[in-house]
Amino acid sequence: MSLILYAYNRNKRNPLSFGPVSTGGVLELTQIVSRAFDIGLSSLTDPQAAGPRAAVPTQTSENRNSSARSFYIETFGCQMNVHDSEKVAGVLLERGYRPVDAAADADFLLYNTCSIREKAAQKVFQRLNDFKFAAKANQKVIGVLGCVAQQEGEEIFERAPWVSLVCGSPSYRNLPNLIEQVESGGRRVTGLDLDTDETFETEITRRDNPFRAYLTIIEGCDYSCSYCVVPHTRGPERSRASDSILAEVRRLADAGYTEIQLLGQTVNSYRDPSPRKWNFVDLLLAVAEIEGIRRVRFTTSHPNDFTREIVEAIDATPALCDHIHLPVQSGSTRILREMRRTYAREQYLEKISWIHGARRQFSLTTDVIVGFPGETEADFEATLTLLDAIQSDGVFAFKYSPRPNTPSLAMPDAIPEEEKSRRLAILNERQRQIQIARNEKLIGARFEVLVDTHHTARNQWAGRTTSNRIVNFSTSRENLLGQYVQVHITRSAPNSLIGEEVQGGEAQ
């Protein structure tokens, strides 16, 4: 028997995973599926069962009541958005709402949006049109959250008058208050304040990944990359106090989580606002020391704040995962300057040399934008040679997408769409070859894998290494979900490894 707890939306382009080399990021980011995430009831109640015990009270006496108001959240975008939705779900559970697994069944329908590229933003109004009839016919309450909410603001009410709530992420801390206004009949309720130094913390977070707990340590962004909407939609940087972070990690460890992922748009510029004044490395080491925590990941790092100390800390601390996601965006110093990335090609390469020189075999992933205004063939070639030099294990490559309120919108020499597509295809193929060669070298290696998937049809298991590589493997054992196992690699593919469990080599 299983219990569907809450609509879970898996971001197929999670920049933390070794997904396929992007086939044109614009499309892929908007192809996020919304599906029910089915957690076995036993895993919530049976301490021996796979995965952690319930991280939070998932069913209160109120939300167990089927007459309670129901909610559904549909999420697009990055891991930060996915985790924001988990926290928003926590706010609703606290207020007695009941989660349902289909938009059609919900009294309160929330749509958490992404505007990083144009197509993602366009989708929002198409999707809101889908909700129009339901809103009118069934008196559903519709709310728009996230980056498009912040960017478009009250304009959303003009284009979709059936929407009752528009709230950007900097105002989520006011959500209980805003929801109360909607409950008492408010029809154009907004939370669009950018001017806040508080972070969004909730008593309850409805966590949907049973094996990896996400935790935001810093919100917003103080950089001003010329192509990027994030500083406009998520506001300035606000770090969360270290004692509050550590307390949450301890609660997660008590609930059975062994893997934690720290989140932030620029996670490594973390600055503890409390008198301890910890920097990012201080925090990393403290989280890694918490009993029960076996893996600590973080994303996304900004090259400007990426220090040698981070590499040294990971080298010296097995619980810190040896995977770095370090977006470069371009291999051309000229384009990096136009992008206002604050570093040159050589400085990026220097940081990569620290990673290559580490004792542990780190994996590296990066983001690249092709077709930025004025990008010449020589600039593009510089990006290709940079990929050859850094030998990364995954590249998330996107065609440049002009965004409102960004400096690059007005830049001359736009690259035609077909040319952007051509460059993207070349880059993806080049990177595919790099990954094929890198993964082939791992045949014969042994990895510890945290098992998170069982492919029942072919009786194969899958999970992640500390370096975030996907490993598919076979074994004669059963009930492996949530277990750490040792796997011997026998074959490789561009985006994953294949192997067999080392019998008698169980890690726990």
Residue 401 partner contact from ligand 5AD, ligand SF4, none using kind-dependent CB cut-offs of 5 to 8 Å: ligand 5AD
Q: Which of 414/443 has CB closer to ligand 5AD?
A: 414
Q: Is 441 helix (H, G, I), strand (E, B) or coil?
A: coil
The contacts of residue 177 (CB under 8 Å, 6+ apart) are none
Applying CB under 6 A, does 29 fall inside the site for ligand SF4? no
Structure tokens at 385: 């040679």
Residue 117 partner contact from ligand 5AD, ligand SF4, none using kind-dependent CB cut-offs of 5 to 8 Å: ligand 5AD
Q: How far is the CB of 165 from ligand SF4 (least distance, A)?
A: 25
Of 250-258, 352-360, 399-407, 425-433, which segment contacts ligand 5AD by CB under 6 A?
Answer: 399-407
Of 100-108, 123-131, 397-405, 481-489, which segment contacts ligand 5AD by CB under 6 A?
Answer: 397-405
Applying CB under 6 A, does 329 fall inside the site for ligand 5AD? yes
Of 150-158, 223-231, 368-376, 437-445, which segment contacts ligand SF4 by CB under 6 A?
Answer: 223-231
Report the C-alpha dihedral over residues 280, 282, 283, 287, rounded to 10 degrees: 140
Say how far apart CA 71 and CA 100 lie, in whole Å.
Answer: 6
CA angle (365, 235, 74) in 5-degree steps: 70
Contacting ligand SF4 (CB under 6 A), which of 50, 56, 106, 230?
Answer: 230
Q: How far is the CB of 227 from ligand 5AD (least distance, A)?
A: 4
Q: Which of 230/415 has CB closer to ligand SF4?
A: 230
Say how far apart CA 389 and CA 351 lie, in whole Å.
Answer: 12
Residues 110-129 that bind ligand 5AD (CB under 6 A): 116-117
Overall residue count recorded for the chain in this entry: 508
Q: Which of 110/221 has CB closer to ligand SF4?
A: 221
The contacts of residue 44 (CB under 8 Å, 6+ apart) are 3, 53, 54, 58
Contacting ligand SF4 (CB under 6 A), which of 223, 255, 285, 421?
Answer: 223
Applying CB under 6 A, does 266 fall inside the site for ligand SF4? yes
Structure tokens at 264: 């932030």
Q: Which of 161/404 has CB closer to ligand 5AD?
A: 404
Strand-pairing partners, residue 99, are 71
Applying CB under 6 A, does 265 fall inside the site for ligand SF4? yes
Contacting ligand 5AD (CB under 6 A), which of 143, 256, 303, 327?
Answer: 327
Residue 163 partner contact from ligand 5AD, ligand SF4, none using kind-dependent CB cut-offs of 5 to 8 Å: none
Q: How far is the CB of 402 from ligand SF4 (least distance, A)?
A: 14
Identity of the residue numbered 303: P
Q: Within 289-357, where are the H helices? A: 308-316, 333-339, 345-356
Q: Which of 221/319 has CB closer to ligand SF4?
A: 221
Contacts 24+ apart (CB under 8 A), 20-24: 20/494, 20/495, 21/394, 21/395, 21/397, 21/428, 21/431, 21/432, 21/435, 21/494, 21/495, 22/395, 22/396, 22/397, 22/398, 22/424, 22/428, 23/428, 24/398, 24/399, 24/421, 24/424
285, 290, 232: which is closest to 259 by C-alpha?
290
CB atoms under 10 Å from CB of 185, counted, come to: 7
Q: How far is the CB of 107 from ligand 5AD (least distance, A)?
A: 33
Applying CB under 6 A, does 400 fall inside the site for ligand 5AD? yes
Applying CB under 6 A, does 164 fall inside the site for ligand 5AD? no
Structure letter (DSSP) for residue 415: P
CB atoms under 10 Å from CB of 104, counted, come to: 11
Applying CB under 6 A, which residues contact ligand SF4?
221, 223, 225, 228, 230-231, 265-266, 302
The residues that touch ligand 5AD, with contacts defined as CB under 6 A, are 116-117, 227-228, 327, 329, 367, 369, 398, 400-401, 403
